[in-house]
């Protein structure tokens, strides 16, 4: 599209006034600039839209048809511009979250936010912590919530809560009291490389376990739980993600002695991210609600 909004605006003002001098004065432009804009627009369209009659520009048949199409479009664009300039609660927020947060925290946060601000659209991208950080760095999302180790001087991090990781199994006999190194040769199913859950767990046990028997790696927490139900194996997972299975006796928390594996839930965004009022409102709302949900989880546990 070669036509510009400025050319459309000048065209509509000339239609309304009929005199280049008046339009130039109203738009604080030179008369030659107005005339040049009209000529450029006519060149783009390939036909004149005005008849020059008695030093006045009058729409011809082509111009009248063009005006009929352009006028409502430009008015709509003007309305949209005004609305967004004068509304703090309209727009789109692109959110990212790592798997545990997407599955167990973000749905209720986003639903609650959109109920309060129905004119705001939220898009949600899921990935492991490494993938989400890459999205922040690429500018494809505005803000994210992760539960892994985040590095990089271009990332702003803010702690919003603490998550407890637990060792669980579907085999009650494996849940007997023990030390983590006694479980190293058992079969483990873990999240994939780049997962915050995996990274925090392996970093926590590295001084106690030199070689963990990882027989399966999966990209999603629900898939891991499904494997646990059908095989005699272990995993280390967020307690939030298995609270129902533990309560129902489908899974059992292993009583691992001297095991206190916790991680921070982080809100992250790029250091160069522009903080619009809409952005500030969203991060305040979501951060507050997520902190409340995590505190409630801790009280239950």
Give the tens place of pLDDT for each residue, 198-207.
999 999 999 9
* Fold observed for domain 5-86: Arc Repressor Mutant, subunit A (1.10.10)
List the beta strands (DSSP E) in the chain. Answer: 50-53, 56-59, 91-98, 120-127, 143-146, 155-169, 188-191, 214-218, 234-238, 252-253, 262-270
> Which pLDDT value is given to residue 297?
74
User: What is the separation of C-alpha 264 from the centre of its chain, rounded to a whole number of angstroms?
Assistant: 19
> For residue range 157-207, what is the model confidence (pLDDT) as tens digits?
999 989 899 999 999 988 899 999 999 999 999 998 888 889 999 999 999
Q: Cα–Cα distance between 51 and 15 in angstroms, integer?
A: 11
Percent of the chain with pLDDT over 70: 98
Q: Cα–Cα distance between 51 and 189 in angstroms, integer?
A: 78
Query: Confidence band (pLDDT; 50, 70, 90) for 149?
Result: confident
Q: pLDDT at residue 298 above 70? A: no
Backbone angles phi and psi of 189, in degrees to 5:
-115, 125
The DSSP H or E segment spanning 107 is helix 106-116
* Fold observed for domain 163-262: D-Maltodextrin-Binding Protein; domain 2 (3.40.190)
**The domain over range 91-161+263-299 is classified in CATH as 3.40.190.10:** yes
Q: Cα–Cα distance between 200 and 189 in angstroms, integer?
A: 15
> Which pLDDT value is given to residue 19?
82
> For residue range 274-296, what is the model confidence (pLDDT) as tens digits?
898 889 999 999 999 998 888 87
> Which pLDDT value is given to residue 29?
92
Q: pLDDT at residue 301 above 70? A: no
User: Mean pLDDT, to the nearest integer, of 75-95?
Assistant: 80
Query: Confidence band (pLDDT; 50, 70, 90) for 299?
Result: low
Q: pLDDT at residue 234 above 80? A: yes
Q: pLDDT at residue 214 above 90? A: yes
> Which pLDDT value is given to residue 20?
87
**Start-end of CATH 3.40.190.10 domains in the chain:** 91-161+263-299, 163-262
Percent of the chain with pLDDT over 90: 63
234 burial (CB, 10 Å; 0-12 / 13-18 / 19+) is buried
């Amino acid at each position: 599209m070669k036509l510009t909004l400025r050319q459309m605006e000048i065209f509509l003002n000339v239609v309304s006034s009929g005199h280049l001098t008046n339009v130039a004065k109203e738009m604080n432009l030179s008369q030659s600039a107005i005339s040049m804009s009209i000529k450029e627009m006519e060149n783009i369209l390939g036909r004149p839209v005005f008849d020059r009659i008695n030093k006045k520009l009058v729409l011809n048949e082509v111009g009248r048809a063009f005006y009929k199409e352009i006028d409502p479009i430009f008015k709509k664009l003007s309305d949209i511009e005004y609305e967004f300039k004068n509304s703090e609660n309209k727009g789109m927020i692109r959110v990212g979250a790592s798997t545990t947060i997407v599955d167990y925290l973000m749905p209720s946060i986003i639903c609650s936010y959109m109920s309060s601000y129905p004119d705001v659209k939220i898009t949600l991208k899921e990935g492991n912590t490494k993938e989400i950080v890459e999205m922040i760095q690429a500018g494809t999302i505005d803000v994210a919530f992760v539960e892994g180790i985040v590095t990089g001087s271009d990332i702003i991090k803010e702690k919003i809560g603490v998550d407890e990781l637990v060792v669980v199994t579907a085999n009650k006999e494996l849940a007997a009291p023990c030390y983590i190194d006694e479980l190293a040769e058992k079969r483990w199913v873990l999240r994939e490389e780049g997962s915050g859950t995996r990274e925090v767990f392996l970093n926590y046990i590295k001084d106690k376990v030199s070689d963990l028997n990882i027989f399966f790696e999966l990209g999603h927490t629900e898939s891991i739980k499904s494997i646990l139900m059908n095989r005699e194996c272990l995993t280390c997972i967020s307690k939030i993600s298995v609270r129902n299975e533990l309560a129902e006796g489908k899974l059992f928390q292993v009583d691992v002695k001297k095991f206190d594996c916790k991680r921070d839930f982080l809100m992250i965004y790029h250091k160069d991210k522009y903080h619009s009022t809409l952005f500030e409102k969203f991060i305040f709302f979501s951060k507050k609600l997520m902190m409340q949900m995590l505190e409630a989880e801790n009280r239950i546990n």
